[in-house]
Structure 1
Amino acid sequence: MKKSLLLAFLFTGFSTMAQEVMPPLLPWSGSSEKLIVGSDNPWVTPGELSGLTESPTYDVTTEWVKKLADSSPFLTLKSIGKSEQGRNIWMLIASKSQNFDSEFLANEDKALLFFHGGIHAGEIDGKDAGMMLFRDITHGNKSELLDEANILFIPILNVDGHERRSAYGRVNQRGPLEMGWRTNARNLNLNRDYTKIETDGIDAVIDVINAYDPDLYVDVHVTDGADYQYDVTYGYVKTGGYSPAISKFLFENFQPEVDQALSKAGHIPGPLLFAANGDDFTEGNVAFSFSPRFSHTYGDVRHMPSILIENHSLKPFRQRVLGTYVFLEQAIKSISKHYQTIQKAVADDQNQQEKSLPVKFAFRETPADTMDFKAIASHKEKSQITGAEYVVWDAKAISQKVPSLLMDVPVQSVEIPKAYWVSSEWSELIEKLQKHGIEMEILSTLQEKELEFSKVSEYKMGNQPYEGMMRVQSFETEKISRSQTYLPGSVRIPTDQDLKELLVVLMEEESVDSFFQWGFFNTIFSRTEYMETYIMEPMMKQMMEKNTELKQKLEEAKTADLELAKNPRRIYSWFYEQTPYIDQNWKVIPVGREW
């Protein structure tokens, strides 16, 4: 049965479209509308042919960008990898030098912008905006943008999700007519994958970052959530991050110029917006401390200026695409203008001399400030179906004073060792570290080292998979010192390197995006050798006869744990753990620290 017939069969009688019941729109017009070319233009984009109500398929997009690349000596099209379903992930490269080699572009004394659309394939604004911008650079009036900057553009990152497209892609988004799916073919969310690298898309992105060393990385999304006047919201790690010099540049230089450009073109720029109460903004806007599994915070921890765009889902596709175009054009101008400032900020952040690193943040006790919020009036109504109250938006522009709730207070830090050691059997983790661009020494001979390790005393696993992984939900550890034999192929990873902060958040178990918490070391929780009671009984007697303090230690353990005192099997296990027969690797996280 064909897909369309199958859907018709499954949803017979369903005719309501989300577009029909969305909150009403405020009227909008802006000078950015002049960016749209007519249908008679030989380089009109497929999206423009629909009046920016539709976005082209993967095949149509690929055909168009190939044709564009072939038409200009300043462009080339490159496959940076294949998706899980075997589709090419294409990247357009623009360079006035006509030299597209990654090493050349990384080292050329010239700003470099890297951006992509469709990491969440239904949120595709970046693709259509990028196609229009590249058209205008090569066949319009924007060629001067290449005088001071090179550009990397991935039209569609999540290519498989992009082709899982239909009119029912996103229930809360105003266009395009057909939208792709949020996750990839394996149902993994690419924008949760930057630390664990389990998707082909993020594998390709990190390759690009390492090879080209961009001066600005922009990830284009579309929001969920409430209604408000802003159409282009975006953010970066402003406080509570790992790159304070970069944050200062983005706040003092980049953001004012981009906001001015967007406002001049008729758009309303704003910060990332997350309603504290989940409905409206009367209780404040929350600025979360995102972990490095996300694009812009991954950029922050590796000292790469990074922006997360979240266009407002309730604004029309046309308006969002034009706002994205204006943002990207000004981004190119700003990083070109402040190129030397960016270089210095990156170097300052790479050369921080921290002895410890925060890995967990909490909210401030009081709001940081109050923002003048460009809101949409709303009221609550009681549902006749569920009985609960729900928010109704009134299509009336209002201004509100909204508290800013910042999650930037460090509440847990870890000491930074001189180096980490990982044994050769953990080759998957070693390869992930290398993929991130982390420098390491690979052992060619056997070495014996006395190192510090963390041993898990208590732990609880998550009750369901998250992004395909069984995460460690909560745990307690103690530090132990032990000698470890490292075979050839094992690695020593010094922390004296540019990506020190990224290395620490991957290796230290307290970090929410550590390899440990993601579940890559879950095999350490399995016991594979056990004791027999008929052996343990006489052994226990001998142990207490030879060690008079052992009985006292047992009584203290019983007092601290009443269940232990009632459970003979656990008492046997307690004694077993005091013997050299117990598995010495059980619950020991296999990351050695050299101090």
Structure 2
Amino acid sequence: MKKYFVLCFLFLGIKVQAQKTPFELSGKKETTTYTAAIAYYQNLVKGCPEAKLLSYGSTDFGKPLHLLVLSKDKVFDPAAIRKSNKRILLINNGIHPGEPEGIDASMMLARDLIKGNKIPKNVVIAIIPLYNIDGSFNRTGTSRANQNGPVAYGFRGNSKNLDLNRDFIKTDSKNSAAFQLIFNTWQPEIFVDTHTSNGADYQYVMTLIPTQKDKLNGILSDYLTQTLVPDLYKRMEQQGYPMIPYVNSIGETPESGITGFIESPRYSTGYTTLHNTIGFMPETHMLKSYDLRVDATYKLLQAYVDIVARDASVIGENKQKADAFVAAQQEFPLDWKLNKSEVNELQFKGFEAGQKPSEVSGADRLYYDRSKPYTKTIKEWNKFEPAITVQKPIAYIIPKAWDRVINLLKLNGVKLREIKADQKIAVESYYIGDFKTGTRPYEGHYLHSAVKLNPVKQNLQYYAGDFVVYVNQPCNRYIVETLEPQATDSYFNWNFFDSILDMKEHYSAYVFEDTAAELLKKNPDLKAKLEAKKASDGDFAKNGPAQLDFVYKNSDYYEKTHNRYPVARLLTDVQLDLK
């Protein structure tokens, strides 16, 4: 009998030990590897009907994205979950694998929810264990030079050296496509993407970036600012981790003031905003010890679970109202600017900053004195206003040749209709009048900006199989902010349509000189237009080749598709022959 009890004790000890995460087993100094994390989750779901480990798509590393789903009712069909009026909370970890707190915290959270029978009945919790699988295999202890642990961690870039938190619109990585498949399949109401900060030194372990309140639909923004964010701050204060907004300093130190973070759709929470999902980027402070950073992340994730369970009904109602509002919305902001005249005051717990001689260069350098903590009032600017807006059309028409655009729209739940037979349609086309392009590559692209457009009404020929996208959908923001070329993260700005900027035909000057002379004789209006240009522009008047080019570009010889943006706007609700 004594031997039996000893064996039972040993068995229970082994079982408890097996449930510990690699982070806990290391004395809270190490983060898990991808292989260990997936093995841990696979073991965790064994014999637990309330948990499933699913896989989606692929990544650039050749492995699928995993998704742990915790469902109290043992229902794992997203459509059925939505019909049963449950909320979905999606947690993403390791988009930057050198910022791994969420990876380890989520493993412990999932275990504790399962083993403690604490999965809420009205919330389904979905966790991406590690998003940038590629970067997690590029493991060192030095790539984040300013960070205090863990012992070793992954690299920011994936196997294509892409920063995946800049890839949610252009989707150059398979990781992004797999994430968008998960996101649009599960359609979470609340999204959390765990991170670690860089920047100033201060007393806080956790800082927070919510979806920018002015960009978010007003119905959702009211709940975010009046209930959700204040409750998160209150709960974290009670847990011993007071928070502050992400310290986005306008000067060298936080005393100069901070501004809100305006996340465009290239970022995870900017992307989720396009779908009326409230998003968060928790940012732990890189100089705090790793065990504290993981603990703060764990407690924040638990706070999300508790609040979403408490407010499940209102969160669901708000999402439905926001979707209905956006489906009928007429005007859409495409770019944003900070209102510098509206300022808040925050109590900030920092450390005194000073200057001292650098031991490297001898020049003065910044340092923070942790022996001199302070609490000061600092300024925060966090009011953003639209800088560019557009009135939505009835629909956009996209020729079928632009299949990358079409596939991304489909991936994001956009409903497209196919044109049934060849037909001419009266549309508004944009001609690209001007734009700026970066002089250096950014995330594999020479990004466009400051786009100027010349809208022209035309009758254009479309063909069977071309696509019509009506702008009467809950995902209107995704449609408009990707298809309007002047939007910050439009497909145009990410170079999807650069081929239209090239001329495919031209002329030999010695031949076209005679043609141009004949055109001017037969077309008095063109002649008058040329003379007016010469009179108003002295350089042009002295430039013979420029004048010849002017005649060419104002004649029928000039190709009509040059600089014509291929996605047209349907402005009148005409009956189209559609499948």
* Superposition TM-score, scaled by structure 2 size: 0.92
Equivalent residue for 1:283, pick from 256, 263, 269: 256
Cα offset for 1:545?
1.9
Counterpart Cα distance in 2 of 1:125 and 1:57: 12
CA 1:459–1:172: 2 relative to 1, 3 Å: same
CA contact (8 A) 1:125 1:324 kept: yes
Counterpart Cα distance in 1 of 2:153 and 2:383: 33
Match of residue 186 from structure 2: 212
Per-residue CA shift, 1:188-238, capped at 9, x if unaligned? 111111122222222122111211121211100111111111111112234
Equivalent residue for 1:402, pick from 370, 375, 378: 378
Counterpart Cα distance in 2 of 1:317 and 1:560: 67
CA contact (8 A) 1:362 1:411 kept: yes
- Verify: 1:374 aligned to 2:349, yes or no: yes
- How many percent of aligned residue pairs carry the same amino acid? 27
- 1:589 counterpart SS class: coil
Per-residue CA shift, 1:124-181, capped at 9, x if unaligned? 1111001001111222x3x223323211111100001011011113111111110101
Cα offset for 1:324?
1.0
* Structure 1: runs of 5+ lacking an equivalent: 1-36
Cα offset for 1:39?
11
- Verify: 1:61 aligned to 2:37, yes or no: yes
CA contact (8 A) 1:296 1:306 kept: yes
Residue-pair matches, total: 556
- Verify: 1:363 aligned to 2:341, yes or no: no
**Counterpart residue type for residue 292 of structure 1:** P
Match of residue 223 from structure 2: 249
CA 1:545–1:387: 2 relative to 1, 3 Å: farther
- 1:515 counterpart SS class: coil
* Structure 2: runs of 5+ lacking an equivalent: 1-12, 572-579
**Counterpart residue type for residue 264 of structure 1:** Q
Per-residue CA shift, 1:329-374, capped at 9, x if unaligned? 1111111111121122212222224322111221213242111111
**Counterpart residue type for residue 358 of structure 1:** P
Match of residue 229 from structure 1: 203
Match of residue 169 from structure 2: 195
CA 1:163–1:562: 2 relative to 1, 3 Å: farther
Equivalent residue for 1:145, pick from 107, 119, 123: 119
Counterpart Cα distance in 1 of 2:248 and 2:297: 20
Counterpart Cα distance in 2 of 1:557 and 1:509: 29
CA 1:375–1:592: 2 relative to 1, 3 Å: same
CA 1:559–1:321: 2 relative to 1, 3 Å: farther
CA contact (8 A) 1:292 1:301 kept: yes
Match of residue 134 from structure 2: 160
CA 1:523–1:560: 2 relative to 1, 3 Å: farther
**Counterpart residue type for residue 452 of structure 2:** E
* Superposition TM-score, scaled by structure 1 size: 0.90
Match of residue 491 from structure 1: 467
**Counterpart residue type for residue 378 of structure 1:** A
CA 1:388–1:474: 2 relative to 1, 3 Å: farther
Range moving further from structure 2, 574-583 or 462-471: 462-471
- 1:82 counterpart SS class: coil
Counterpart Cα distance in 2 of 1:388 and 1:405: 32
Matches within 5 A, 1:522-537: 522-537=498-513
Counterpart Cα distance in 2 of 1:542 and 1:418: 43
Counterpart Cα distance in 1 of 2:14 and 2:303: 23
Per-residue CA shift, 1:440-481, capped at 9, x if unaligned? 112232221111011012333221221112222443221112
CA contact (8 A) 2:334 2:481 kept: yes
Cα offset for 1:560?
4.4
Counterpart Cα distance in 1 of 2:385 and 2:450: 21
RMSD over aligned Cα atoms: 1.9
Range moving further from structure 2, 400-409 or 518-527: 400-409
Per-residue CA shift, 1:302-345, capped at 9, x if unaligned? 10121111111111111111111111111111111111211222
Equivalent residue for 1:432, pick from 408, 412, 437: 408
Counterpart Cα distance in 2 of 1:131 and 1:436: 28
- 2:160 counterpart SS class: coil
CA 1:226–1:184: 2 relative to 1, 3 Å: same
Cα offset for 1:70?
1.2
Counterpart Cα distance in 1 of 2:157 and 2:535: 50
- Verify: 1:78 aligned to 2:54, yes or no: yes
